[in-house]
Structure 1
Amino acid sequence: MKLVTGEKQWYAIYTRARAEKKVHTSLLKEGFEAYLPLIKRLRQWSDRKKLVEEPLFRSYIFVRVDEKNLFNALNVFGALKYIKFENKAVPIPDKQIEAIRIYLEDPEPDEEIDEALSAGQLVRVKSGPMEGLIGKLVSYKNKFRLVIMIDAIGQVIRLNIPRSRVELVKEFEQK
């Protein structure tokens, strides 16, 4: 299959259940730029524990294509549809994809919460790979956790980010 050139953007493809890795491999074989964020999780069975790589977002994979090749990327077995708004595939900003990549490569350690912040407040990441992203603060057991929403696919990522890299979003900035 020959790819048509043009300005490429990231899009989220919804896949069959548990087919993310197969779709990723197939897209790469077809010459597409694809990204499947994987996270290592400890799984326990009755006889053993094992560290396994699982998709960060179940049933989603990201593909970078131009509008002329949107349909071609869906011709891969297991790829079902694009995430759409008003019947049009929604592009995902490069910055969001890059922030996910950087975070998964080098997650930041936890730091204690500053008492001036409380759960439920909107905060902005002021430095680091997630700079500029806004999320809802969640606190527990003296640890700091930020929830980031990836708007285009309506998914949430829970990230541990040092307190020193986060600032409160003022009320007038929220509108």
Structure 2
Amino acid sequence: MIRAVNYKWYAVYVKSRAEKKALTELTLKGVNAYLPLRVVKRKWSDRVKLVEEPLLRGYLFVFVSEREYLTVLQTPGVVGYVKFEGKAAAIPEREIENLKIFLERNKAFVDVSYENIAKGQKVKVVGGPLEGIEGEVFELRGKKRISLRFETLGCSVFADVSLELLEKIELINS
């Protein structure tokens, strides 16, 4: 498949609790859309069940060119593009691919934080199910964790990773 240069990933806001419906509508229109899901335990009075829910409530991602830009906005459930300085903010393809890999390998053990977290040591996972993922190390609740920061959305994704599976990445001072 040949991919046009002008296709970019964007985040779109969707109506509350309408992420899966908006994804279906976009897909029916031929738009390449992605909804990151995570597995969580939900407890009802008579049972406990594992369910998939959106990782980032109120958002989904679309891979579109200028031609499909308005098609996305005319989709039921879609509220608008995530914008910075009045312009739809493109998300680097590498961030979307890392998120897909991260969730594919670790769907049931992912946590999301919207807090402004201080930067830590940059690392790369060299073994285990998250091999190849880069992020920042933070110490939370006594465990070493890796955080993949998606700065475009202003959030961080966390997963438990053993310290011996990490390799430091040297930063080049600019």
* Residue deviations 1:100-137 (CA, integer Å, cap 9, x gap): 111111139x9xxxxxxxx9561213243323x4x351
Find out whether 1:50 has 2:53 as its counterpart: no
In structure 2, what is the Cα distance between the partners aligned to 1:36 and 1:168?
30
Residue identity opposite 2:168 in structure 1: E
Determine if contact 1:38/1:55 at 8 Å carries over to the other structure.
Answer: yes
Find out whether 1:146 has 2:155 as its counterpart: no
Tell me the secondary structure at the aligned position of residue 106 of structure 1: helix
C-alpha change, 1:169 and 1:139, in structure 2 (3 Å) is: farther
Identity %: 36
Residue identity opposite 2:43 in structure 1: Q
Number of aligned residues: 157
* Residue deviations 1:10-30 (CA, integer Å, cap 9, x gap): 000011010000001111100
Q: If you compute each CA radius of gyration, which structure gives the higher value, 1 or 2?
A: 1
- Matched with 1:18 is 17
- Matched with 1:126 is 124
Residue identity opposite 2:148 in structure 1: I
How far residue 51 of structure 1 moved from its aligned partner, in angstroms, is 0.4
The list of structure 1 runs, each at least 4 consecutive aligned residues, that deviate by more than 4 angstroms after superposition, is none
C-alpha change, 1:91 and 1:33, in structure 2 (3 Å) is: same
Query: TM-score, with normalisation over the residues of structure 1?
Result: 0.79
In structure 1, what is the Cα distance between the partners aligned to 2:30 and 2:167?
39
Gaps of 5+ in 1: 111-118
Tell me the secondary structure at the aligned position of residue 101 of structure 2: helix
* Residue deviations 1:16-63 (CA, integer Å, cap 9, x gap): 010000001111100010000111101111221010000010000000
Determine if contact 2:124/2:169 at 8 Å carries over to the other structure.
Answer: no
- Matched with 1:160 is 160
Gaps of 5+ in 2: 110-116, 126-130
